[in-house]
Structure 1
Amino acid sequence: MSNNSANNPGVGSGIGSGAGLGGDPSGDPSGTLLVAIDGAAGSGKSSVARESAKRLGFGILDTGAAYRALTLSLLQAGADLDSEEAALNALQQLDLQLGMTEDDRVLLSGVDVSERIRTADIAQNVSHVAKHPRVRKQLNSWFKQTVAASGLPGVIIEGRDITTVVAPDAPVRILMTAREEVRIARRAKQLPELTYAQVAADLRARDAKDLRVVDFLNPAPGVTVIDTSELDFEGSVAAVIATITQTQQER
């Protein structure tokens, strides 16, 4: 991963400054095309967003990785995940690097945790951290700074409340959805160490907790809905790229 902070700024350097995406509707004054993708767990947003960015030559900002890395940091410290103050304190000290291009590793204090943050214990606990409003506010501010400083022709930023809070003025805003049973089946494949019943219970609990702070199931005005329930991976990628390409042609 590049150590260039302009392309991969650390969370600690960006927290709390309140920088936004600026007045340019593309996402930043340099003309970076911003693509905002929301969606629930299992909707396919992360894998589809990453592949779409790769094919388009765009950067990818996985906001969920930041929450997962923060969760890992709190677990390692034995902190109370339900304490917003503990999460905020950990966030201020977080040494995090998120790769946005070919090298998309997640580094926590210089250690590659890309695979570690995708394990079952993180998946089961991340909603405890993501529910804190002030944590979301500070991370959202950093996400905006990261995109604005990227210098890339385009950036796909994916996660929760992206189309409504982080990048409400993005020229491309997509909500990826899928029926609950489809999302559970997809998550079960990603977490083979858990039973189907455990995955179903965890997904429903996570949805319920996340819905307390953000509505990621219903599109805001102007957001394109892509239902992936009947689409395979290639079909989902094609649908996202088609939506982005149409906007590029209209610019």
Structure 2
Amino acid sequence: MKHLQIAIDGPAGAGKSTVARQVAGRLGLSYVDTGAMYRAIAWKALRENLDVHDEEAITQLAEQLTFSLHPQGIIVNGLLLKEEIRTQEISALASAIAKMPGVRRILVNKQQEIAARQSVVMDGRDIGTHVLPEADVKVFLTASIEERAFRRYKELKAKGIDVNLDQLREEIKHRDENDRTRKYAPLEQAKDAVLIDTTDLSIEDIVESIMQLCRHKMGGEE
């Protein structure tokens, strides 16, 4: 198989991570969760008692971190991070940090370096537009806010985390606004991306739709 790049973008709760991981598994490619990189910066900033709103300090922190892929999470400076970066607090901080142009430029470079070394399925919010603008396959996943909030609600409840559905809905609305209005690399569908509304689709349906796009790109081979 030739060097392959698959970009999956979309707002919070659209199913990007689950779908991207399964597509990567079926194709035998590396999965890159770019959102975990922003979460890792937020987690590290808290650990080092940094002001998460100090853009200069957070940008310097991002520059110092090294990221490696791992099936169960992400390795940051040699440390495997998993559930500790999946809390509501980290989610909120990561959203704020993702608005910082300096941080985004650094992570875009790091993400491009990863993709240059290997074939990848990469998910995020600016993959098809900024990180991998020449990706072989581009997909933009979306879903209604109500469905995205309910998915996150079920996910957190399954982990034993007590959450309020209405509060989750408002947090997702706020994150959508942050993602779409930031000055550098805002969330938007790439002109050549295929739009998939996942509101009424199963994970299997979404994965199969993307696999069909990949088969077409690879000339029918899986």
Q: Tell me by how many angstroms 1:84 deviates.
A: 1.1
Residue of structure 2 aligned with 1:171, choices 117, 131, 136: 136
Q: Which position in structure 2 is the counterpart of 1:203?
A: 172
Instruction: Identify the range of structure 1 (158-167 vs 188-197) with the bigger mean alpha-carbon deviation.
Output: 188-197
Over 4 Å off, 4+ runs: none
Task: Give the conservation status (yes or no) of the 8 Å contact 1:74–1:87.
Answer: yes
Residue of structure 2 aligned with 1:65, choices 36, 57, 80: 36
Counterpart-to-counterpart distance in 2, 1:165 and 1:92: 19
Q: Which position in structure 1 is the counterpart of 2:20?
A: 49
Counterpart-to-counterpart distance in 2, 1:62 and 1:196: 25
Residue of structure 2 aligned with 1:140, choices 90, 108, 111: 108
Counterpart-to-counterpart distance in 2, 1:206 and 1:128: 9
Would the alpha carbon gap of residues 215 and 135 (structure 1) be closer, same or farther in structure 2, given more than 3 Å must change? closer
What is the number of equivalent residue pairs in this alignment?
215
Q: Which position in structure 2 is the counterpart of 1:90?
A: 61
Q: Tell me by how many angstroms 1:215 deviates.
A: 4.1
Task: Give the conservation status (yes or no) of the 8 Å contact 1:120–1:191.
Answer: no
Listed as ranges, the gaps of 5+ residues in structure 2 are none
Q: Tell me by how many angstroms 1:105 deviates.
A: 3.1
Counterpart-to-counterpart distance in 2, 1:190 and 1:128: 22
Task: State the SS of the aligned residue for 1:156.
Answer: strand
Residue of structure 2 aligned with 1:149, choices 113, 117, 138: 117
Task: Give the conservation status (yes or no) of the 8 Å contact 2:9–2:126.
Answer: yes
Would the alpha carbon gap of residues 206 and 92 (structure 1) be closer, same or farther in structure 2, given more than 3 Å must change? same
Would the alpha carbon gap of residues 95 and 142 (structure 1) be closer, same or farther in structure 2, given more than 3 Å must change? closer
Q: Deviations over 1:74-120 (max 9, x none)?
A: 11122121221011111122243222xxx343123333211111122
Q: Which position in structure 2 is the counterpart of 1:186?
A: 151
Task: State the SS of the aligned residue for 1:211.
Answer: helix
Amino acid in the other structure paired with 1:48: V
Amino acid in the other structure paired with 1:248: M
% identical aligned pairs:
35
Q: Deviations over 1:200-239 (max 9, x none)?
A: 12111111111122443x4222111111111011111111
Q: Hey, which of these two has a bigger chunk of helix by percent?
A: 2
Residue of structure 2 aligned with 1:115, choices 60, 83, 89: 83
Task: Give the conservation status (yes or no) of the 8 Å contact 2:63–2:106.
Answer: no
Q: Tell me by how many angstroms 1:61 deviates.
A: 0.9
Task: Give the conservation status (yes or no) of the 8 Å contact 2:67–2:75.
Answer: yes
Q: Deviations over 1:12-41 (max 9, x none)?
A: xxxxxxxxxxxxxxxxxx941111111111
Task: State the SS of the aligned residue for 2:196.
Answer: strand
RMSD of aligned Cα (Å): 1.8
Task: Give the conservation status (yes or no) of the 8 Å contact 1:163–1:173.
Answer: yes
* TM score, norm. by length of structure 1: 0.80
Residue of structure 1 aligned with 2:10, choices 4, 22, 39: 39
